[in-house]
Chain A
């Protein structure tokens, strides 16, 4: 899932300071799971902004709404009527959701309440760890299910840098060397031969543009390359 965290309150308060009617829009998927931008967090932030606005003597109103996902038009359409009643929208979605909402309401200021941090996993209630950098050419079948692009700070894809000390990364002794973990995993699953495979230089032509993909069924239906 996408992990995000709330921006510092002062930054959000400053961003909304100039608007009288603000709709705080939560997103019910990834950012709700990481306790940053769901219905609950939207309610709390709106209550806080409301009190802060009163303390500052501003005439502001904060309402809340939450949709299932802000990265899907069918859910964003639910907000159209409410959006028209407001001077600004404060989105608590990941960066993708904020942009999709802004695209839908080009004449309204759409503000971001979160910092999107990474694609990660839920380790425990309230703790998340990064696992993938969306590199577009996944190596996990080769590397024992451990991502060298993400888990190795140098992104070494053909074996370790040589700096590891007792299995710890040379950049941070608190972390395991990704390649020590990969080696152990491949050894445990009897796939050490994978280490012989050379990964060619990455084809950056796929990654240096905003990503776009279409399902085969979509292409069949619309026979488009869009």
Chain B
């Protein structure tokens, strides 16, 4: 594996719990890998299977969805729906030959900044072990062919 490889990880996280934890991680100056790009959602219940597939199409090496802890969703069951959809999307990407481990669901409470840092570390380690997404390589090749710097 290329030692210079830095995975691009998309995180879809909810504003009530995980985003608050991530914010607190910043205030606490906790260190964690800079590979994650955060998209804040009102609730992980908004996450759709199509969004997850689109993330891989756009070249994400890994995708994490993180909502409130089970039973703590601000909208009661948004995180449970997200959990189901992540499980479904894992099957869908496995069907096309992409490792399902590139996608994972987390439940991180608003006060749990260290847990957020750990989750990002874990996903970054995993993405490094898996190597770049084959779709990302193709995307880069397509951009290069069009003369756009990746």
Partner-B contacts on A (CB < 8 A) = 9-10, 13, 43-44, 47-48, 50-52, 54-55, 57
Cβ B97 vs Cβ A47 within 8 A: no
What CA separation (Å) do A50 and B93 show in the bound complex?
11
Q: Which of A44, A47, A48, A54 has the most CB of B within 10 A?
A: A47
A-B contact count (CB 8 A): 38
Partner-A contacts on B (CB < 8 A) = 49-50, 53-54, 56-57, 92-93, 95-98, 134-135, 138
Q: Which chain A residues lie closer than 8 Å to B96 at the CB level?
A: 9, 13, 48, 51-52, 55
Q: Which chain A residues lie closer than 8 Å to B93 at the CB level?
A: 51
22 A-B pairs, CB-CB below 8 angstroms?
A9-B95, A9-B96, A10-B95, A13-B96, A43-B50, A44-B49, A44-B50, A47-B50, A47-B53, A48-B95, A51-B56, A51-B57, A51-B93, A51-B98, A52-B95, A52-B96, A54-B138, A55-B96, A55-B97, A55-B98, A55-B135, A55-B138
Cβ B92 vs Cβ A54 within 8 A: no
What CA separation (Å) do A55 and B97 show in the bound complex?
8
- Name the prevailing secondary structure of the A interface residues: helix
Q: How far is the CB of B65 from chain A (nearest CB, A)?
A: 17
Q: How far is the CB of B145 from chain A (nearest CB, A)?
A: 12
What CA separation (Å) do A57 and B142 show in the bound complex?
11
Q: Which chain A residues lie closer than 8 Å to B92 at the CB level?
A: 44, 48
Q: Which chain A residues lie closer than 8 Å to B54 at the CB level?
A: 47
Cβ A50 vs Cβ B57 within 8 A: yes
Cβ A48 vs Cβ B135 within 8 A: no
Cβ A55 vs Cβ B134 within 8 A: yes
Q: Which chain A residues lie closer than 8 Å to B98 at the CB level?
A: 51, 55
What CA separation (Å) do A32 and B54 show in the bound complex?
22
Q: Which chain B residues lie closer than 8 Å to A48 at the CB level?
A: 53, 92, 95-96
What CA separation (Å) do A13 and B96 show in the bound complex?
9
What CA separation (Å) do A222 and B49 show in the bound complex?
49
What CA separation (Å) do A51 and B94 show in the bound complex?
11
What CA separation (Å) do A158 and B146 show in the bound complex?
73
Q: Which chain A residues lie closer than 8 Å to B50 at the CB level?
A: 43-44, 47
**List of 10 A-B pairs having minimum Cβ-Cβ separation, nearest first:** A52-B96, A9-B95, A47-B53, A51-B96, A54-B138, A48-B92, A48-B96, A43-B50, A44-B49, A55-B134
Residue of B nearest to A10 (CB): B95
Residue of B nearest to A45 (CB): B92
What CA separation (Å) do A10 and B97 show in the bound complex?
10
Q: How far is the CB of B74 from chain A (nearest CB, A)?
A: 23
Q: How far is the CB of A200 from chain B (nearest CB, A)?
A: 50
Residue of A nearest to B142 (CB): A54
Residue of A nearest to B141 (CB): A57
Q: Which of B54, B93, B97 has the most CB of A within 10 A?
A: B97
Q: How far is the CB of A55 from chain B (nearest CB, A)?
A: 6
Residue of B nearest to A50 (CB): B57
What CA separation (Å) do A57 and B97 show in the bound complex?
13
Q: How far is the CB of B109 from chain A (nearest CB, A)?
A: 29
What CA separation (Å) do A226 and B16 show in the bound complex?
64
What CA separation (Å) do A43 and B134 show in the bound complex?
22
Q: Which chain B residues lie closer than 8 Å to A44 at the CB level?
A: 49-50, 53, 92
Given contacts A54-B135, A55-B134, A55-B135, contact A47 B57 (CB under 8 A): yes
Given contacts A43-B50, A44-B50, A47-B57, contact A52 B138 (CB under 8 A): no
